[in-house]
Amino acid sequence: MASLVFKNRLISNGSKYIIRLKKIDNNYIIPYTLLKNYSVTQTDNEEYVTLYNLLTDECEDLKLTDIDKYTTINCDSISENIKNEFTFINYCKNAYNIFKESKLPIELFYNNFMNTIAIDNDIQQVVIDFNFMIDEDIIKGKNIPDKDIENIKNSFYKLVNIKINENKNELNQLKEDCETEEDIEDIEQIIEMFDTCKEDICIENAKTIKDILDEWPPLLLPLPNSLDRLLNLTIPDYTKTTEIEQFTDLIKSIDADILFEFTKILDDFKETLDSTIYNDYKKVLDVEYYKKFDEKL
């Protein structure tokens, strides 16, 4: 059974802050809260906690053992937490409303748009621009699934068209202020260049999102900020190692005294952690500590 201390702490933090919660076996977050103006009534089931989903505006009963972790952004200040998180939530809710019109499965919205990689790297707008088809694997540079490739290519052309029209509108406004026919002709030639710049795009054999973005017409540079961030994004691949393996590698360079302090901190939070998680990390710390301790003798 999940720790009662963990549940009580989650309820306490949720009552003061807006929290970002991640469940086990997925890589997306959902903003929840228990602020009093949402009038949430807790479930009687001790294995569950009731939280208010700020995207769907509904209460949800979450099984405690399904929760991986939760964070409180700007938790040093309640007012800053709420101020900044509501800006984030309003942006996400607007995207959620756009997504609902697509009639696609709701899990796609969470997996792609609320993905922690998309959020942490500030590329959620890219997910919207590509009709919510950009998932974590595509962000990491893997091949786009065959079932999605045409949708993503069409979205790319749509973005190019938007940029072309923006430039043409500016040029047409300039043309209205021209005083000579020669100036008008010059501007019309430039407009024609924008009209034909798509002809050089070659994404027929594109496999990855980088292949597609690399075909952005030079005349339309620079890339929109979100596309530029995605194109230049480098994400380390940790899929071959577990979190506990990563932790083990990390502490190998730490001396025995600091490892001892880590163990004390872990023990202080024992009641708030799942027993399996505590035991796994305690074992790693103990093994590494005694190894370092023996080296000092």
- Domains of the chain, earliest start first: 4-97 (2.30.30), 143-231 (no CATH), 243-296 (no CATH)
- Tell me the pLDDT tens digit for each residue of 99-140: 999 889 999 999 999 999 999 999 999 999 999 999 999 999
Structure-token pair, residue 97: 């409303």
CB proximity list for 8: less than 8 A, separation 6 or greater: none
Nearest alpha carbon to residue 111 among 121, 124, 122: 124
- Cα-only R_g, the chain: 26
Contact criterion met (CB below 8 Å) for 160 and 220: yes
Q: What is the pTM of this model?
A: 0.78
Q: What is the pLDDT along the chain (297 residues), one digit of tens a residue?
A: 457 888 999 999 999 999 999 999 899 999 999 999 999 999 999 999 999 999 999 999 999 999 999 998 876 788 888 888 999 999 999 999 999 998 899 999 999 999 999 999 999 999 999 999 999 999 999 999 999 999 999 999 999 999 999 999 999 988 888 888 888 898 999 999 999 999 999 999 999 999 999 999 999 999 999 999 999 998 765 455 677 888 888 888 888 888 888 888 888 888 777 777 888 888 988 888 888 766 665
For residue 75, the model assigns a pLDDT of: 67
